[in-house]
Amino acid sequence: MQKMTKEQKSLQIKKEARATLILFFICMFWHIGFGWGLSGHTDITIAKLPLWWWLSTPGLFVVGLVGVIILLKFVFKDFSLDDDEAGKEAQHAE
């Protein structure tokens, strides 16, 4: 677990929130784009389901899963939200 100042924690939280929001919009545009974008424009079917369904629904799961793995490896950091100074004061009081 990393030790961070309040400012660093605040910046990290904002960075994680921004990255999660970006992934949300990527997933949303993926689902809507393939769902409505291919609907009625292609007759390709897989297991009696249209191509647009395969790309928009199970495809969305894959995109979301890969996105979350990328966020966990490169964006998110493990740090305590507790104030370090408050924790030190509580330890000294005991």
Segment 2-27, tens digit of pLDDT = 788 999 999 999 999 999 999 999 99
Q: Which residues contact 17 (CB under 8 A, 6 or more apart)?
A: none
pLDDT tens digits along 36-63: 988 888 889 999 999 999 999 999 999 9
Distance CA(19)–CA(12), nearest Å, equals 11
Helix 6-37, helix 58-74: angle, nearest 10: 160
pLDDT of residue 53: 92
Predicted local distance difference test score (pLDDT) of residue 93: 56
Phi/psi for 45 (5° steps) reads -130, 150
The one-letter amino acid at 36:
W
Q: What is the per-residue pLDDT for 85?
A: 59
Q: Where are the domains of the chain?
A: 6-93
Helix (H, G, I), strand (E, B), or coil: what is residue 46? Answer: strand
End-to-end CA distance of the chain: 24
Tens of pLDDT, residues 60-75: 999 999 999 999 999 9
